Amino acid sequence: MSEQAQTATNDAESTSEKLVELAKRRGYFFQSSGAYGGVGGFYTFGPQGASLKGNVEDAWRDRFAVAEGNMEIDAPTIMPEPVFEASGHLDGFDDMLVECDECGESHRADHVVEDNTEYEDAESLPIPEVEEVIAEHQLVCPSCGAGLAGQAVETFNLMFATNIGPGDSDPGYLRPETAQGIFVEFPRLKEYARNQLPFGVTQIGRAYRNEISPRRSIIRTREFTQAELEYFVDPETDEPDLESVADVDVTLYPASEQNKDDGDEIRTTIGDAVEEGVISSPWVAYFLGVAKPWYDAVGVDMDRFRFRQHLSGERAHYAADCWDAESEIDGNWIEMAGFAYRSDYDLSKHAEHSGDRFTVFKQYDEPKTVERATVDPDMSYLGPEFGGDAQAVVEELEDLAARDRAAFDGDVVEIELEDDTHDIPVEKTGFAVEEQTEAGEHITPHVVEPSFGVDRLVYTVLHHAYREDEVDGEERTYLELDPEVAPTFVGVFPLQNDDELEAEAQEIVADLRAEGLSVTYDDSGNIGRRYRRQDEVGTPFCVTVDYETIEDKETTVTVRERDTTDQTRLPVDDLVEALAEIREGDLEFEEL
Ligand code: GAP
- Asked whether residue 534 carries a pLDDT value surpassing 70, the answer given is yes
| Residue-level pLDDT at 553 | 62
| Residue-level pLDDT at 497 | 86
Cα gap 511→506, rounded to integer Å: 9
| Residue-level pLDDT at 498 | 87
Cα gap 249→302, rounded to integer Å: 10
Domain with CATH 3.30.40.230 in the chain: 94-157
| Residue-level pLDDT at 552 | 65
| Residue-level pLDDT at 120 | 82
What's the 3-state SS for 231-251?
Answer: EEECCCCCCCCHHHHCCCEEE
What's the 3-state SS for 372-401?
Answer: EEECCCCHHHHHHHHHHHHHHHHHHHHHHH
**Rounded mean pLDDT of the chain?**
93
List pLDDT tens digits, range 416-432.
888 889 999 999 999 99
Task: State if residue 308 touches ligand 1 by the CB under 6 angstroms criterion.
Answer: no
| Residue-level pLDDT at 546 | 87
Cα gap 359→210, rounded to integer Å: 33
- Asked whether residue 386 carries a pLDDT value surpassing 50, the answer given is yes
405-410: long-range pairs with CB below 8 Å, 24+: 405/373, 405/433, 408/373
- Asked whether residue 1 carries a pLDDT value surpassing 90, the answer given is no
CATH number 3.30.40.230 given to 94-157: yes
Domain at 488-591, CATH class? alpha beta
Task: Tell me the average pLDDT across 536-564.
Answer: 88
Higher confidence at residue 503 or residue 121?
503
Domain with CATH 3.30.930.10 in the chain: 3-93+158-345+449-453
List pLDDT tens digits, range 310-355.
998 888 887 888 999 999 999 999 999 999 999 999 999 999 999 9
- Asked whether residue 123 carries a pLDDT value surpassing 90, the answer given is no
pTM for the full predicted model? 0.88
CB-CB neighbours of 244 under 10 Å = 12
| Residue-level pLDDT at 8 | 37
- Asked whether residue 362 carries a pLDDT value surpassing 50, the answer given is yes
The residues, ordered by sequence, that sit 6+ positions from 114 with a Cβ below 8 Å of its Cβ are 120, 121, 122
* Confidence label for 11 from pLDDT (cuts 50, 70 and 90): very low
Task: State if residue 227 touches ligand 1 by the CB under 6 angstroms criterion.
Answer: no
Task: Tell me the average pLDDT across 368-377.
Answer: 93
Measured over the CA atoms of residue 200, residue 201, residue 202 and residue 206, the dihedral's sign is negative
Cα gap 395→389, rounded to integer Å: 10
**In ligand 1, which atom is closest to the CA atom of 456?**
16
List pLDDT tens digits, range 160-195.
999 999 999 999 999 999 999 999 999 999 999 999
**In ligand 1, which atom is closest to the CA atom of 452?**
11
- Asked whether residue 12 carries a pLDDT value surpassing 80, the answer given is no
List pLDDT tens digits, range 246-270.
999 999 999 999 999 999 999 999 9
The answer for 403, left when phi > 0, alpha when psi is -120 to 50, beta otherwise, is: alpha
User: How large is the greatest C-alpha to C-alpha distance in the chain, in angstroms?
Assistant: 109
Structural Rg of the chain based on CA atoms: 30
- Asked whether residue 10 carries a pLDDT value surpassing 90, the answer given is no
Task: Tell me the average pLDDT across 484-496.
Answer: 95
Domain with CATH 3.40.50.800 in the chain: 488-591
Q: Within 13 Å of residue 59, how many CA atoms lie on the same side as its CB?
A: 24
The CATH number given to 3-93+158-345+449-453 is 3.30.930.10
Task: State if residue 205 touches ligand 1 by the CB under 6 angstroms criterion.
Answer: no
Task: State if residue 451 touches ligand 1 by the CB under 6 angstroms criterion.
Answer: yes
CA 516 to chain centroid, in Å, comes to 29
CB-CB neighbours of 146 under 10 Å = 13
Q: Which amino acid is at 302?
A: M
| Residue-level pLDDT at 94 | 93
d(CA 460, ligand 1 centre) in Å: 14
- Asked whether residue 3 carries a pLDDT value surpassing 60, the answer given is no
| Residue-level pLDDT at 406 | 95
List pLDDT tens digits, range 454-464.
999 999 999 99
Cα gap 54→448, rounded to integer Å: 25
Task: State if residue 344 touches ligand 1 by the CB under 6 angstroms criterion.
Answer: no
